[in-house]
Structure 1
Amino acid sequence: MSIAPEPSASRGEITLQPSYFTSSLYVDPLREDISKLIASFDDQFKDTIEPFALFKKLWTDQGWCWLHMRAYDGRARQSFICTTERVFAERVADTEDPIARVVALFCLYTFYNTQPSTSAPPFYSVANIAVPMDIYRAMVSLPAVLHEGPLFRLRPYVVHILTTLLNAQTFYILPDSSLRAQNPTRLPREIFVPEGQGPSEALHMTAATESAQQEGPNAAPKKKGRPSKRDKARKVKEALASLERYIDRNAVALPGQHPPHVLGPDNIATHPHSTHVVFGQAPHATLNNYVDRRNELLAAVHAYSLDSADTTDASRSRTKDALQRANEAVLLRLKQIDAMAAEQGLEVGGEGGEKTGLSRVERAVDELRQSSGVGASGGILSLLEGAGMDSNN
């Protein structure tokens, strides 16, 4: 909902600009006051029977009941309400203490439902609470956290509040907080610089604080603005060097290779073919499992083809026919895929030379057809045993 332009304040009146409520002058004290309210509730929670009654008493005693009187004109109230609800909602995240999450939910519910609606002229009010998806999930899952000890007494109140807000379709769901879909993307957006402190020093301290909150206490402050071409090139070189170090640490020579240093052309030392340590080790467990399953399949096909009225040679012929039809179907499908790839300028079947690819599958199927060679027993099923390998290599 857009806000109509507001008239300027008359002489002698003070009007807060919308940017005030997104600045450090409002956001930082608001966060401190919320922490104070949470601490007060935590201190007195164990001695009370009615938790929400305690919250209402603290809300009134600490002056939160007058919070809506902070701004009157529509543009300022829009920024004021959205910022306040956003700061309340950020304390409901699952990284917070359960007591803090419950109190923040109480604050959000109370602040939203106490918007003035009977004043003349009427105050601006919001119909929905904008929350990111991750905060919404944490909010909905809050009752599951309150399952033991004194926290269980808070569960009925939390369930009632969430049910009321959800039934009224109060929440306006935004993308995840990491995508920064909220406006402004960060709070506070405007930083107040105290007298005697330079703007650059204040910006440096703010950047260092945000970086420490996001990346840990030992993280260096990030630079403002987009990264330069030099920074991008430096990051690419660092990533490439890190990848090379990782490959060197985990590279092993392929089986059957020459010693590590071999004299190549022009008496230059060369390295043998190598691969990653994971690929250099034969997957014996997987291979044995495949062989067992394949043998079971062949035995099942052979048993299905047996008939008491048939001779052994006839049953073997039917077994071979069934395997041959399956091999021919797979070969036909592979040829279709290879043709489709060729139409798009891709290369699929011949990338591995004679040891892999479509030509080897054709030879394995031919071995089954002729009942000769390694593939005579299973055709494509015997590729791991060397079916389809060129005998001249």
Structure 2
Amino acid sequence: MAVVNRGNVVLQPTYFTSSVYIKALREDITTLVHNFHEQYKEDSTKPFALFKSLWNAQGWKWMHFKVFDSRARDTFLSVTFRLFLERMVKTEAPFTRTVALFALYTFFNTQPTGSAPTLRGLSHIPIPIDHYTTLIGLPGMLSSAYLAPLQPYVSYVVSALVNAQAFYLLPSSELGAQNPRDLPREIFVEEGLIDSNQPQGKGHQSKRDKVIKARTALDAVGRWLAQTPSDTGTGPTLSQYKAQKAQLLKEMGGETDGLEEASEGVVQRLREAQEEQGGDVEGWAGLARVHAASSTAGRLLGLLEQ
């Protein structure tokens, strides 16, 4: 009887661009930022050594050995680096950007070499040029007393990555030059994976269409908030705001996960901003109000109604 070797299970590249991987890794990165923040408040004398111990303790050092197939590994590496980079954009708090930079630097420089069999690595990290400019300017954002201990380490890491020519510059992020353009590309539902850019049957909107509608409604709310009495004569009313809010939630079709994550992110950034200024976070009434609003239906959209 012929002996048949059992085949190896290989993850397809689409797994790493799907909501299954993207959502889990985003949550892990958020946990890494939060845990480092908590320990940094206790001891900020050696921030990078603190980060490395946390990186190892949480199992990040094993990430490279989770994928061995070359084709899947290409996607795994590019998507993972991209998710670190998305936490370094200018809308993120300087502290969060610093932790994401440490993570990207560590992940990039711990790619296995000399292994047998050889594991495919990534020599250049694609990054939109506007995000690259923001990254280069990060050391200058760490001038407050709370963040000052991080500054020399961030300066060194940025210089090391630039000198190693680690980045592959892409056109500005608004042009959507990254591949895939948006993450996640595939959305996991109970029946399996679907392409988020394709309609799911006659009369149904694709995930992308829903996102576009939600963003349009959100922009409308933003324009309303930007109005002043001189623009309208009397200024916007609460009833107008509620109408805009209802339209936004309707367009999102009940899918408020992204809105909830954004709300939690706002609260976290406010906490970091207050600490950077040396304020008493627990006694800051404004933060308490925002935190309370983020816990209600409609999340932070209910803030102006309080």
TM range (shorter): 0.5 to 0.7
Give per-residue Cα distances to partners, 1:78-120, cap 9 Å, x unaligned. Answer: 0000000001001000100111100000011001001010211
1:210-230: CA deviation from partner (whole Å, max 9, x where unpaired): 6546762755759xxxxxxxx
Report the secondary structure of 1:191's partner residue: strand
Distance in 1, matches of 2:95 and 2:26, equals: 16
Checking the alignment, whether the CA contact within 8 Å between 2:126 and 2:167 is kept in structure 1 is yes
Aligned to 2:68: 72
d(CA) in 1 for partners of 2:167, 2:73: 19
Matching residue of 1:186: 182
Residue number in structure 1 paired with 2:173: 177
- Return the match for 2:18 from 23, 27, 34: 23
Tell me the CA shift for residue 163 of structure 1: 0.6
Shift of 1:46: 1.8
Taking the TM superposition and a 5 Å limit, the aligned residue runs for 1:188-227 are 188-195=184-191, 207-209=209-211, 212=214, 216=218, 218=245, 219=248, 221=251
**C-alpha displacement of 1:206:** 6.1
8 Å contact from structure 1 (residues 23, 188) kept in 2: yes
Give TM-score, length-normalised by structure 1: 0.50
Q: Deviations over 1:48-69 (max 9, x none)?
A: 1111111111111111111111
**Which deviates more from structure 2 when the two are superposed, residues 204-213 or residues 148-157?**
204-213
Q: Is the 8 A contact 2:187 2:193 kept in 1?
A: no
TM-score, normalised relative to structure 2: 0.64
**What is the Cα-based RMSD across aligned positions, in Å?**
2.6
Higher normalized contact order (CA 8 Å, seq sep 6+, divided by chain length): 2
* Structure with max Cα Rg: 1
Q: Which amino acid aligns with 2:175?
A: L
The equivalent residue for 1:54 is: 50
Q: Percent identity?
A: 46
Query: What does 1:319-338 align with in structure 2 at a 5 Å threshold?
Result: none
Q: In structure 1, the residue corresponding to 2:88 is in which secondary structure?
A: coil
Matched, 1:43 2:67: no
Which runs of 5 or more residues in structure 2 are unaligned? 195-199, 222-244, 253-306
Contact 1:133 1:173 in 2 (8 A): yes
C-alpha contact (below 8 Å) 1:93/1:138 kept by paired residues: yes
2:271 aligned residue: none
Unaligned runs of 5+ in 1: 1-9, 223-393
Displacement, 1:11?
A: 3.2
Which residues in structure 2 correspond to 1:163-174 (within 5 Å)? 163-174=159-170
- Residues of 1 paired with 2:31 and 2:204: CA distance? 26
Q: 1:197 to 1:64 in 2, by over 3 A?
A: closer
State the shift of 1:170 in Å.
Answer: 1.0
The 1:159/1:125 distance shift into structure 2, 3 A limit, reads same
**Residue number among 69, 77, 81 corresponding to 1:81 in the alignment:** 77
Aligned residues: 213
Give deviations 1:319-346, integer Å, cap 9, x for gaps.
Answer: xxxxxxxxxxxxxxxxxxxxxxxxxxxx
1:208 to partner: Cα distance: 3.4
Query: Distance between the aligned counterparts of 2:163 and 2:207, measured in 1?
Result: 44
- Cα shift readout 1:301-336 (whole Å, capped 9, x = no counterpart): xxxxxxxxxxxxxxxxxxxxxxxxxxxxxxxxxxxx
> CA, structure 1 residues 158+210, in 2 after alignment: closer, same or farther (shift >3 Å)?
farther
Q: What is the CA-CA distance between 1:12 and the residue it aligns to?
A: 3.5
Whole-angstrom CA distance in 2 between matches of 1:203 and 1:56: 45
